[in-house]
Each structure stands twice: as structure tokens, then as C-alpha cells.
């Protein structure tokens, strides 16, 4: 029997080059979007690459975001006080998935299921954090999320006595 290493989501999607291509395409569209444009007004020129580094690290790639940007606490802090709406969150996910199709990210059901699950989870977390005051200080020890292929079994159920 041959042991095959299961690739990370980062590897499966094509690594840093694929993620950077995706995020550049996506953030080129954002300014013209009536819901997202105002949210990202004044976005730094390297914003797509920052997000690519973050998503890359979360999905099993190198720790570029932590090394260059200080880790998950900095991503959380970037959302504090932004008051992201559900409509903006939903548009962010939809537009990003449209761009994933356009740049040719893998379309197999397993990958897309894992990608959509991460985008839903991450964007919903961003909405929650965006409701906190901008003056909120994120715990610098907040661990970087790690996202993989998923595990069947449904939601957590506490053990019964």
C-alpha cells in the first residue's frame, strides 16, 4: 500500500501564485461594487497580497502573514469598528467565488466545499469583530486559524453523562 500525502488546500489551489492572482482580480473589482466599494475605500495598494498571505497561511501555506504582519490579532484588529453588514459579507463571498471561477481555481466539489466553508466562517467572524469598537485591542496571542479539508460528523455535541 502506498502512502500518499494529502495536499493542503493551499497546495491544491495552486499556492501563492494562484492566491495572489485571485486576490488581485477580486480587489480590482471591489472599488466599483456599490456595497463593497465604500467599505474598502482607501485600501492600501498591497491589500490583495496581505489577504493572499493570510488566506495562504490559514489554508496550509507558509507563515508569511504572521511573519510580515504580526499574525491573527492584526487581522482581527483590521476589522474592529468597520461595521460590516450582512449584505456586504454576502457580496464579499459571492464576488470572491466568482473570481475564483474566473482565475481557474479548482472546481472539484471537495475543494470548493472546503473553500466555501472557510469563506463563510471567516466572513461571519469578520462581521462579528467589525461590530466591536475600533479602539478594541486584539490579544496578540490569538492563534492563527488553520483550515483543511473538513471532517464529517456535524456540529459539536457535548458528551452526555
Domain that holds residue 63: 12-130
Residue 154: is its pLDDT beyond 50? no
Please check the confidence at residue 157 and state whether its pLDDT lies above 50. Answer: no
pLDDT tier at 5, thresholds 50, 70, 90: confident
pLDDT of residue 160 exceeding 70, the answer is no
Q: Give the mean model confidence (pLDDT) for residues 68-93.
A: 94
In a domain, 141, yes or no: no
How confident is residue 156, by pLDDT bands cut at 50, 70 and 90?
very low
Is residue 143 in some structural domain?
no
Structural domain includes residue 140: no
| Three-state secondary structure of the chain | CCCCCCCCHHHHHCHHHHHHHHHHHHHHHHHHCCCCCCCCCCCCCCHHHHHHHHHHHHCCCCCHHHHHHCCHHHHHHHHCCCCCCHHHHHHHHHHHHHHHHHHCCCCCHHHHHHHHHHHHHHHHHHHHHHCCCCCCCCCCCCCCCCCCCCCCCCCCCCCCC
pLDDT at 158: 52
* CATH number of the structural domain spanning residue 119: 1.10.490.10
Convert the pLDDT of each residue in 42-72 to its tens digit.
889 999 999 999 999 999 999 999 999 989 9
Number of domains in the chain: 1
> What does the alpha-carbon distance between residue 69 and residue 51 come to, in Å, rounded to a whole number?
10
Q: What is the mean pLDDT of residues 27-35?
A: 96
Residue 52 covered by a domain: yes
Over residues 98-150, the pLDDT tens digits come to 999 999 999 999 999 999 999 999 999 999 999 999 999 999 999 999 999 98
Q: What pLDDT is attached to residue 150? A: 81
In-domain check, residue 146? no
Write down the pTM of the prediction: 0.89
Amino acid at each position: 500500500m502506498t502512502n500518499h500525502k494529502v495536499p493542503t488546500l493551499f497546495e491544491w489551489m495552486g499556492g501563492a501564485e494562484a492566491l495572489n492572482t485571485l486576490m488581485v482580480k477580486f480587489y480590482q473589482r471591489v472599488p466599483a461594487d456599490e456595497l463593497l466599494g465604500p467599505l474598502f475605500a482607501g485600501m492600501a495598494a498591497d491589500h490583495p497580497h496581505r489577504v493572499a498571505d493570510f488566506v495562504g497561511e490559514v489554508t496550509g501555506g507558509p507563515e508569511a502573514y504572521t511573519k510580515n504582519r504580526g499574525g491573527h490579532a492584526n487581522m482581527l484588529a483590521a476589522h474592529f469598528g468597520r461595521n460590516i453588514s450582512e449584505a456586504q459579507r454576502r457580496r464579499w463571498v459571492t464576488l470572491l467565488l466568482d473570481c475564483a471561477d474566473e482565475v481557474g481555481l479548482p472546481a472539484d466539489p471537495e475543494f470548493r466545499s472546503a473553500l466555501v466553508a472557510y469563506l463563510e466562517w471567516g466572513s461571519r467572524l469578520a462581521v462579528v469583530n467589525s461590530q466591536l469598537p475600533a479602539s478594541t485591542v486584539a490579544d496578540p496571542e490569538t492563534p492563527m486559524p488553520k483550515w483543511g479539508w473538513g471532517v464529517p460528523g456535524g456540529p459539536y455535541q457535548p458528551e452526555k453523562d
